[in-house]
């Protein structure tokens, strides 16, 4: 079974600074997807960024980028120019690339609570 | 992104009664839907996976007779909490996806059993 580990229960960053959230995972599969989701106080889950394991290039979405190290099974999220609206719980998640029903389920880490200080 | 609507957003029910939560995909056909439970300041715990027209697959430890899941159409799945008790109070979240695309989440339902 796959596992996802987020070792930082809480992180804080000053507004406009950069912060990196850590995530490691364990799997025996060679092809899979990795995600970072944001859950603000409204509790709506929002997809921040997605990485496909077969792609070597790190995904980026505006101020959000990842450092995907497949051999090390590491998938960290970097938030640049942090904004007050970035304050939220961030979840790292894994999904198999195999097709069908239960293969599509997401395995979540325990989350990192990010505080942005003005 | 695609829109998933979950209803109601909050519900309070009396102990022993049943409550139904709906999850709708508004602009796509959801071949697979998921139901999660989330405790305060905790991660999402998958309860079950449902595919349209077939029985849901429940995760280990989830009582299928207590948490009834129906995925009768490609746009609607329901979770019914039967004979609810205070320990069933929680935040329930659904997500939906088309075949092998990414999952989109509903807004969640806060259930309080009194």
CA distance A101 to chain B (A): 6
Q: Which of B1, B91, B102 sits opposite A43 (nearest CB)?
A: B91
- B/e letters for B69-107, b = 16+ CB within 10 Å, e = fewer, are bebeebbbbbbebeebeeebbbbbbbbbbbeeebbbbbb
Summarised one tens digit per residue, pLDDT across range A68-112 is: 999 999 999 999 999 999 999 999 999 998 777 677 889 999 999
Using a CB-CB cut-off of 8 Å, the residues of chain A touching B46 are 105-106
Using a CB-CB cut-off of 8 Å, the residues of chain B touching A91 are 43-44
Beta strands in chain B (DSSP E): 4-7, 10-13, 19-25, 32-38, 44-51, 57-58, 67-73, 76-81, 90-97, 104-105, 109-113
pLDDT reported for residue A101: 65
- What residue of B is the nearest CA neighbor of A106? B46
- Other Cβ atoms less than 10 A from the Cβ of B24: the count is 19
Which of A97, A98, A102, A110 to substitute to test the interface with B, most B CBs within 10 Å? A102
Q: Does A116 score more than 80 pLDDT?
A: yes
CA distance B22 to chain A (A): 16
CA distance A61 to chain B (A): 14
Summarised one tens digit per residue, pLDDT across range B3-43 is: 999 999 999 999 999 999 999 999 999 889 999 999 988 99
Q: Does A49 score more than 80 pLDDT?
A: yes
Residue A6, C-beta contacts closer than 8 angstroms, at least 6 positions apart: A21, A22, A23, A91, A92, A109, A110, A111, A112
What is the Cα–Cα distance from A20 to A112, expressed in whole angstroms? 11
Closest by Cα among A9, A11, A17, A37 to A79 = A17
Which parts of B42-106 fold into alpha helices (H)? none
Using a CB-CB cut-off of 8 Å, the residues of chain B touching A44 are 105, 107-108
Using a CB-CB cut-off of 8 Å, the residues of chain B touching A43 are 38, 91, 93, 107-108
pLDDT reported for residue A103: 74
pLDDT reported for residue B57: 93
What is the Cα–Cα distance from A99 to A106, expressed in whole angstroms? 13
Summarised one tens digit per residue, pLDDT across range B36-94 is: 999 988 999 999 999 888 889 999 999 999 999 998 899 999 999 999 999 999 999 99
Q: Which of B43, B99, B108 sits opposite A110 (nearest CB)?
A: B43
pLDDT reported for residue B82: 97
Are the beta carbons of B102 and A91 separated by less than 8 Å? Answer: no
- What residue of A is the nearest CA neighbor of B58? A102
Q: Does A54 score more than 70 pLDDT?
A: yes
Residue A64, C-beta contacts closer than 8 angstroms, at least 6 positions apart: A36, A48, A49, A77, A78, A79, A80
Give the tokens for residue B51: 């595919």
What is the Cα–Cα distance from A46 to B58, expressed in whole angstroms? 24
What is the Cα–Cα distance from B107 to B21, expressed in whole angstroms? 12
């Amino acid at each position: 079974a796959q596992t996802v580990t987020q070792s930082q229960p809480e992180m804080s960053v000053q507004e406009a600074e950069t912060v990196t959230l850590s995530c490691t995972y364990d799997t025996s599969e060679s092809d899979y997807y990795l995600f970072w989701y944001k859950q603000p106080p409204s509790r709506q889950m929002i997809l921040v960024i997605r990485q496909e394991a077969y792609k070597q290039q790190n995904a980026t979405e505006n101020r959000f980028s990842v450092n995907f190290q497949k051999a090390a099974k590491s998938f960290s999220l970097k938030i640049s120019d942090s904004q007050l609206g970035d304050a939220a719980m961030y979840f790292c998640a894994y999904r198999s690339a195999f097709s069908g029903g239960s293969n599509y389920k997401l395995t979540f880490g325990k989350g990192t609570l990010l505080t942005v200080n003005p | 992104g695609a829109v998933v609507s979950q209803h109601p957003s909050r519900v309070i029910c009396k102990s022993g009664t049943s409550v139904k939560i709906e999850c709708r995909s508004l602009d796509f056909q959801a071949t697979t839907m998921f139901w999660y439970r989330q405790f305060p300041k905790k991660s999402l715990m998958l309860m079950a996976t449902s595919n349209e027209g077939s029985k849901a697959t429940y995760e280990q430890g989830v009582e299928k007779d207590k948490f009834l899941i129906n995925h009768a159409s490609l746009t609607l799945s329901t979770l019914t909490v039967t004979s609810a008790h205070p320990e069933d109070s929680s935040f329930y979240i659904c997500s939906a996806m088309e075949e092998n695309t990414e999952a989109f989440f509903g807004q969640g339902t806060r259930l309080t059993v009194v």
